[in-house]
A and B are shown apart, each in its own frame.
Chain A
Amino acid sequence: MGTLLKSAPPSAIFGLVVLVAVALTGIFAPLIAPYGETEVVGGAYQPWSAAHLLGTDNLGRDMLSRMIFGARNTVGLALLTTALAFSFGAMLGMLAALKGGWLDEVMSRMVDVLMAVPALILALMLLAIVGPSIPNMIGVIAVIYVAPVYRLARAAAMNVVDLDFVEAARLRGERTPWLLWREILPNIWSTLIAEFGVRFCFVFLFIAALSFLGIGIQPPTADWGAMVKENATLISFGDITPLIPAAAIALLTVAINLIVDWMLHRASGLKS
């Protein structure tokens, strides 16, 4: 691990530092935050001061505390959702590549249907049907993001399933789970990891967007996307406070992409 970090370029180190900082902030939020997540501590839209480093929001809650709790909610939910989408998407994609035939055909067409509808509209529609709650939102976004992951995993696995070592495993009578997890998955792992980083950012932005539209993470839970919306009025007064959660979103997105670039580079280097 030490040598691995030493070989990392400065950009990746920057990404890692940001990621670790956000993770620690999220995990230890109650210890770090000066006030409670939903605690009203003063008047609305107070300017930055010693007591409230980033001022207060539209309901008089401490901005900094909500930023810190927001890290936990926004990032945590994005992580969970992406993990769900990847578990199902990758498994189904590999299965389709391995089995082929009607199973592949049916699943691929279903995925085509999912992808034919713009993601945001589909999410709005589904959430309108099942009702906006956090479990529902996670489920809906996971379903939507299963589609691209499925296609990627299927395409990557297609290159592997025809190789002789998979045939050799079939010849000794290995069952499907072994073929998927032991023969195929290790060979498409780097592709999936790289995609995971990118998808994580998309999901993260997607949740922020849904929150901004009011059907994502519901108030009073702190969330970076919703915080931009709640304090948007301040922009007209030349106050940059609403841009701080937006900047946090941007920073984390960039950080993750820097890490992913580095991992991709390493993976391609190891292959040759």
Chain B
Amino acid sequence: MGDLLTIRDLRLEAGNRSEPVVIIKGLDLDLDRGEVLGLVGESGAGKSSAGLATMGYVRDGVRFAGGSVVFDGTELVGLARGRLRRLHGKRIAYVAQSAAASFNPAKKLIDQYSEGPRLHRVRSRKEAERDAVALYRQMQLPDPEEIGFRYPHQVSGGQLQRAMTAMAMSCRPDLIIFDEPTTALDVTTQIEVLGAIRDIVEDYDSAAIYISHDLAVVSQMADRICVMKDGEEVETAPTRQMLDHPRQDYTRSLWSVRSFRRPEAEEAEETALIRCRTLSASYGAVPVLRGLDFAFPQGRTTAVVGESGSGKSTLARVLAGLLPPSEGEVFWRGEPMEMRLSKRRGDMLRNVQMIYQSADTSLNPRHTIREILRRPVRKFSGRRGDDLRARIDELMDLVDLDRAFLDRKPGELSGGQKQRVGIARALAAEPEFVICDEVTSALDQLVAEGILRLLVALQKDLGLTFMFITHDLAVVEAIAHEVIVLKNGRIVEQGSRDAIFKHAREDYTKRLLASVPQMDPDWLDDARRREAELRAREGDTA
């Protein structure tokens, strides 16, 4: 029995009553006051539904099929809406993944902050605003006196997420649910937000449920971790014990994901497939890339890393021909390369292909997988009839997808399967150079690992050259041969993977490397200390 929250045999269902889709099948959870519980699992494991259910709330179309949720002596399942509303926000608060989507864009932060306390008659408007400033300060937001009077679009993503956490704290709830609060943030911002959340939860001795697919992050925050799969608990244990001695195979597989490494390549003679000289590009008058010199060696993976806004995606657009460079030259096997898409012909169109971050938007939802693959195959290879069908089947085999998927639409596939279709579509053109734009960042770790393995295998078999854009340095370490570090449109550092990861010269690179969450509960403290030191040093030199 938890002394704050006790969940017994919780079951959630969706769909019609005769053939329900089971979302959670019998979950037991206990939570004491002041305790932080981590919920970990792949997407579809039921973590978010479980988090909402602890508030006595289910999404539209979902219903309680049994079990009980007792919060501080009150049964929440089947509790009248009015009584639930009195608990929500006041005693149980919720912090959603995307703060940008959860704030009302038309109201100032502080007005939204004071809504909860006023509604629950905890504080008057004046008191709430004073309180907001105090909490903003505690969350280490810059300019705490003033920041509340800005609109959500006027502050950065990391600041917004902290403002949202402060808002959840406004009534000093007994329990806060955090649903992937840092997933959408850069690694360096993530550290600040994680640190601020952990401090404030400790200071007010709130209990919390921290939901994430990222084990390394959860292990920083939680006292105890519960691993979920397919709506069931796999195992629960105190954080350190869970990390050191996982009992279940599934848990161990979650751990081992990050240990994937590309097999060492034999030293081959390196020729540059693409070479750029003083490449610059701008959107209108805003310069985004400023004089880049680099090369992509043939048959290798070159990772381009940097925070958002560093120009990674712009570089991809330039090479794809979508944004003509304002200056500089690009050579393809030593020959000048046509940089305007409309001027590119046959082979050049074929040779450069792209795989996108979001598989949801990169496949036309109204076409079947067969139609999606047929077009590029026909266009680039001129195959017809049986030949065409055979090639499409072959592509599905290449990306390890069942041919039965060919007649389905993207909406019926999972995220990882859609990403495989995206890869198959790029391969349909038989390209030499493939731009991978954050291809794994929208996927769960297990699925992402599968995609990385696939890409490495394809590279070996087909001799592909990859440009791999990512902000996830764990992925870079796993598959890159070469690394380019970008910041504000300039190259900070470039070199082989080992040179960058073992002997980084620049502070910026070191900071990026240190920001990757590790499977070590002490990592966050170390990282924050290092960050503070680097800041202080920058302050000295500036």
A residues near B, CB below 8 A?
A: 163-165, 167-173, 182-183, 186-187, 189
Contact = CB atoms under 8 A, between A and B. Distances in A.
A171 B341 contact: yes
A171 B354 contact: yes
Interface stretch (B208-216, B230-238, B361-369, B519-527): B361-369
A20 B498 CA distance: 73
Nearest to B354: A171
Interface in B329-379: 341, 344, 349, 352-354, 356, 358, 361-367, 375-376, 379
Contacts of A186: 364, 366-367
Max chain A Cβ within 10 angstroms of own Cβ: one of B321, B364, B379, B380: B364
Contacts of A170: 322, 341
B364 A183 contact: yes
Contact of A164 (B344, B358, B376, B429): B358
A214 B349 CA distance: 59
A165 B361 contact: yes
Contacts of A164: 356, 358, 361-362
Contacts of B356: 164, 168
A187 B322 contact: no
B352 A171 contact: yes
Contacts of B358: 164
A168 B429 contact: no
A172 B362 contact: no
A165 B380 contact: no
B203 to A, nearest CB: 41
Residue from A163, A172, A182 whose CB has the most chain B CB atoms within 10 Å: A172
Contacts of B354: 167-168, 171
A169 B375 CA distance: 9
Interface of B: 320-322, 341, 344, 349, 352-354, 356, 358, 361-367, 375-376, 379-380, 425, 429
Nearest to A189: B366
A187 B366 contact: yes
Contacts of B344: 173
Nearest to A178: B375
B18 to A, nearest CB: 16
Given A163-B361, A187-B365, A168 B322 contact: no
Nearest to A183: B364
B353 A171 contact: yes
A240 B492 CA distance: 85
A53 B361 CA distance: 60
B12 to A, nearest CB: 18
Contacts of B353: 171
Contacts of A165: 361-364
Contacts of B375: 169, 172, 182
A53 B365 CA distance: 54
Contacts of A167: 322, 354
12 contacts: A163-B362, A165-B361, A168-B356, A170-B322, A171-B320, A171-B321, A171-B322, A171-B354, A172-B375, A173-B344, A182-B375, A187-B365
Contacts of B380: 172
A168 B355 CA distance: 9
Contacts of A168: 354, 356, 362, 425
B364 A187 contact: yes
A172 B379 CA distance: 8
A164 B365 CA distance: 11
B429 A172 contact: yes
The 3 closest A-B pairs by CB, nearest first: A186-B366, A164-B362, A164-B356
A189 B365 CA distance: 12
A158 to B, nearest CB: 14
Nearest to B352: A171
A100 B108 CA distance: 34
B349 A172 contact: yes
B349 to A, nearest CB: 4
A168 B437 CA distance: 12
Contacts of B349: 171-173
A27 to B, nearest CB: 32
A186 B364 CA distance: 9
Contacts of B366: 186-187, 189
Nearest to A188: B366
Nearest to B435: A171
Nearest to A270: B411
A186 B411 CA distance: 14
Contacts of B361: 163-165
A118 to B, nearest CB: 32
Nearest to B317: A167
B173 to A, nearest CB: 31
A101 to B, nearest CB: 13
Nearest to B348: A173
A30 B356 CA distance: 60
A183 B365 CA distance: 9
The listed residue with most A CB atoms (<10 A of its CB), out of B344, B354, B361, is B361
Contacts of B341: 170-171, 173
Nearest to A187: B366
A177 B45 CA distance: 43
A170 B376 CA distance: 11
Contacts of A173: 341, 344, 349, 379
A189 B367 CA distance: 13
A189 B366 CA distance: 10
A90 B358 CA distance: 28
A167 B375 CA distance: 14
A166 B349 CA distance: 15
B486 to A, nearest CB: 21
Nearest to A173: B349
B443 to A, nearest CB: 15
Contacts of B376: 172
A170 B344 CA distance: 11
A240 B391 CA distance: 70
B103 to A, nearest CB: 22
A187 B375 CA distance: 18
A189 to B, nearest CB: 8
Contacts of B320: 171
A167 B366 CA distance: 16
Contacts of A187: 364-366
A14 B19 CA distance: 30
Given A165-B361, A186-B364, 10 more contacts: A163-B361, A164-B356, A165-B364, A170-B341, A171-B349, A172-B376, A172-B380, A182-B375, A183-B364, A186-B366
